Each structure stands twice: as C-alpha cells, then as structure tokens.
Structure 1
Amino acid sequence: MAKKIDPAELPVEQKLKNLYQLQTTLSEIDKIKTLRGELPLEVQDLEDEVEGLKTRINKQEEDVETLTADIAAKHEKIKTAQEAIARYKQQLDAVKNNREFDMLNKEIEFQELEVQLQEKKINEAKKTIEERRASIESSTAIINERTEDLTAKRAELEDIVTETKAEEEKLREKSKSLELLIEPRLLGAFKRIRKNSRNGLGIVYVQRDACGGCFNKIPPQRQLDIRMHKKVIVCEYCGRILVDPELAGVKIEKPVEEKPKRRRAASSATSARRTTRKAAEEAAVPEAEA
C-alpha cells in the first residue's frame, strides 16, 4: 500500500502547482456562476417579496376580523344604551322630585353620548376595514404579477442549472481532491485572500514584471525569488500569492526587438557626399576663369 504523502512535506514548487490548479478549477466554477448572472438573487428577491406580501395580507385579514368583531360588540353596547334610555324615560313619568328628574336626565344624556361615541367608532372601524380590504386587493394583484415573474425566472434558472450542473459537480469534485493535496494553513490563507479579492483570484502569475492581480510592478530581486520556488511569496500590494508563468503552465511571448533603422544613416551619408561634391565644384570655378 502506497504511503500517504503529507501535503506539508511537499516541495514549495509542488505546493504552488497544486494551489494554482485549484485556483484554475475554482475560476471555472466562478464562470458558471457568472453565466447564471443575477438570476439566483432575482429569484430569491421575488420569493421574499411574495412571502412578505402574503404575510401582510394575513395580518390585514386578521385586522378585518378583529374590527368586524369590535363593530358587533359596539352594536351590542348601542343596543344596551338605547334600552337604558328607554327605561330612564319611563322612569321620568314617576319622578317625585326635581333631584330624581335631573339625575334621570343626566343618565339619559350620558347614554345618548355613549350611543354617539359607539357609532363614531363603528364608522371609523368600517373605514379602516375598507382600507384594509383595498390593500388586500392591491397586494393580491401584486402577488399574482410577482408569481408570474417568479415562475419565469425559476424556469430560466433551472434551464441554466441543468445545462451546467454536471460540469459544476465535476469541477467541485476536482477542487475537493486538490484541497487534500494542500496543507491546511496554506489552503486557509489562500481561501482568505480569494474571499477578499474582487475577482476571486488568490494566486496569480507574474505578467510583464507586474502582479497579475493588481498589476503593480515587482522588483527584479523579488521576481528572481519567485522563479527560484524556494518559498511562498505574496504581492506586497494586494497580498495575492505569486508564481512565475512557467510554473503556472502559461507561455508568455517575448516582445520582438525592433532592428535599428539604417535608412536615416544612409540618407545622412548621401547628404554628406552631395555637400562634398558641391564644394569641389565651387572650388574648381576660379581656376577655370584664371
């Protein structure tokens, strides 16, 4: 049986290779998520909105039931007050003195005010019930509209998930296998860097003497250390782990050096010859005249 290798005992070069392979796999998963776009969030928002509207409708329906019960109770109070008014008015015919007469009139007046108060509360309750029912109707219409949108969004999301599910599961299995080849401390640091980076890159290769994540220049000595693979080196600006392109399996084309232009030199030599010839001709003119 083969001995299981401890990831911590692997050479730095192999650690960086495994880490870069993991980054490549996770980037592929990120591309699949990008393909889905904002659909998962849109579906979640619509579900939350529909659920919130349903909760609101249930609360308003409970309010309507409570108000209806209150109206019935207030009608009972009005009935009781009216019965008391009728009774007090009958007692007025049998009063023996002004004191009893005044007391009965006050009771009648109090019960009449009670009837008016209860009628006012009933009207207010009826108005509130109308508002609640109008709100329920409006919320129901919105729920129907949002439900149609939600059904369409879910169908669209399911289609995309169905197309990419097998590939995503395969990539996730591969990433889990690669994580087992990386020591926990380094893996934890990589995940932390990746989480804090905007593009999800925790390890990048050097491009044109600069960090492939933040594109800040890397000093020559530091580039040499990166190519030596003796230790894990991070960018001093963005904190991403750095590897050289060769280790990452990336071929960088070297810029073609431009040949020095000779046309200008040739034209200068031609101009010099013309100047010399002209000077010689001018020198020969006086001799001919003499």
Structure 2
Amino acid sequence: MVKKSPTELTVEEKLQALYQLQVTLSAIDEKRALRGELPLEVQDLADELEGLKTRVEKIEGDINEFQSAVTAKKGEIAKAQAGIERYKEQLNDVKNNREYDTLTKEIEFQSLEVELCNKKIKDAIIRIDEKKKELEQTKEIIADRTDALAEKRGELDEIMQETRDDEEKLKARARELEAKIEPRLLASFKRIRKSARNGLGITVEQRDACGGCNNKIPPQRQIDIKMHKKIIVCEYCGRIMIDSELAGIKKEVEEKPKKRATRKKKTEDAE
C-alpha cells in the first residue's frame, strides 16, 4: 500500500488524523497533570536554596569585613596609645608654654582617637553578633528547605518513573500522527490548542453544539461538518469541529420529556 503524503489526504482523513492527535496529546496532558505543581515546587525550592546560599556568602563576607575593621581599629588604638606615652614623656622636657600646649593637644587628640576607635569596635562587635544570628537562622532555613527539596524531588521522581514510559510512547505516537498532517493545518491546530483553556484544538459536535464552548451550531454548519468536505471551525471559540460518527463516538441523544396525558384521555380511561 502506497503511503499518502499529508497534502494528498482527504478532508475526512485529515480530520481523523487531527482527532487522533488530539486524543494522544490530551493523554499526555493527563500524564503531566498527575505531577500537578510538583515540578514548579521543586524548581521554586531549588531557586530559593540558591538565593539562601548566596545570602550566606554575603553574610559571611560582612562578618569578615567587620572582623577586619575591628583588627584595624585595635591597631590604630595601639598606635595612638604609643603616641600618648611618647608625648607624655616629652612633657618632661618642654622648654616653654607653647611646646607644652602642643604636646597636651596631641595627647588629647590621640585620646579622642582611642575613644572613637573603641566606639567603632563596639559597634562592629554588635554588628558581628547580629550577622552571626542572621547566619545561623539562614542556615536553619537552608537545612529545612534542603529536606523539603529532597522530599519533593523524591515524590516527583516516583511519579515520573510511573508515567515516563507511557508518556514516551504517547509522544512517539504524536510524532507519527503529526507527520501525516500537512504543516499548515498542523500549525493552525497547535495555535488553536495553545490558546484553548482545556488544550482542545479539535472538538466533537454533540447535541447540535460545539463540544468546546457548548454554543449551538447553526443547522447548515452542522450539515457541512457531517459532509467532511472542508475544515469547519466554531464561529465562537475557533476550534476545529468533527462529527461524533467520524470521531468514533456514540452520539448523545437528548431524551425528550414524555407528554402528559390529556384530561380527556384520562376521563375516557376511567369510564
């Protein structure tokens, strides 16, 4: 049997191929739906952990800077105190009031430097304590998020393992079906499917209405759908439409309500 190219298919064959593709893609969607929000939750946790690790690095860097500042200020204090001792010794050898005033001012200045350095050291130590507490809290959060991520990944891996084989088979089937459909029609179908809320690019006409949006289909359009002479789309939702017979679905028949017996009929029965 010679295999037809996509452009050689009849409209009926195109519709059948599209519908089979829709059924296959819907099955893939169902497999992915089983995972729920797990993939997003796993990604969010992974991203959060990366952010937390960056925060740890920043906090540790801040602590190192404050500790370096403390060390530097202690060096400045030692230098200032050495200067004070030196100036005090020089006071013993002053020859006039001007030299005395100069040395006294230097001692006062160096003493102020010591006080200022001590204040900055005190502030830095407070900041170091704050940063260490923040670091500890962040590490606790990291430990908690790491456990949560491991648990979520375990759940996702378990679901993936259960659905992977089936999904791969469905994907292969979808590729086979796509190869049978001409590119232009396939592109239109995918565009419709992407914009549709339920992922339906082609839908079955049921009870004289579109199976996608449930809007009534005009009688003439219903005839066109059943004729399979051209691709018909819903004028409301834009989905491609196929009749239930071609889709291989038993048509739903709306039961008509039973008519009530007339009063006259009831009277006759009574007599």
TM-score (ref. length: structure 1):
0.86
Distance 1:94 1:213 in 2: 105
Q: Which moved more, 1:87-96 or 1:3-12?
A: 3-12
Distance 1:189 1:106 in 2: 89
- Once the two structures are superposed, the pairs formed by residues 98-137 of structure 1 within 5 Å of their partners are 98-137=97-136
**1:170 positional shift:** 0.4
Distance 1:83 1:203 in 2: 90
**1:264 positional shift:** 3.0
* Structure 2 stretches lacking a partner, 5+ long: none
- Once the two structures are superposed, the pairs formed by residues 1-150 of structure 1 within 5 Å of their partners are 5-150=4-149
In the alignment of these two chains, the number of paired residues is 271
Equivalent AA in structure 1 for residue 54 of structure 2: T
SS in structure 2 at match of 1:95: coil
Q: Which moved more, 1:24-33 or 1:216-225?
A: 216-225
**1:155 positional shift:** 1.5
If you compute each CA radius of gyration, which structure gives the higher value, 1 or 2? 1
Instruction: Say whether 1:219 aligns with 2:230.
Output: no
State the match for 1:254 in structure 2. 253
Contact 2:206-2:252 at 8 Å conserved across structures: no
Q: Deviation above 6 Å: which 4+ runs of structure 1?
A: none
Determine what percentage of the aligned residue pairs are the same residue: 56
Distance 1:114 1:142 in 2: 42
Residues 214-240 of structure 1: per-residue CA shift (max 9 Å, x gap):
112221122222222222222222221
**1:177 positional shift:** 0.9
TM-score (ref. length: structure 2):
0.92
Instruction: Say whether 1:240 aligns with 2:267.
Output: no
Alignment RMSD, CA only?
2.0
Residues 117-156 of structure 1: per-residue CA shift (max 9 Å, x gap):
2211111111111111111111111222222222222222
Contact 2:207-2:253 at 8 Å conserved across structures: no
Distance 1:191 1:55 in 2: 41
Distance 1:80 1:228, change over 3 A: same
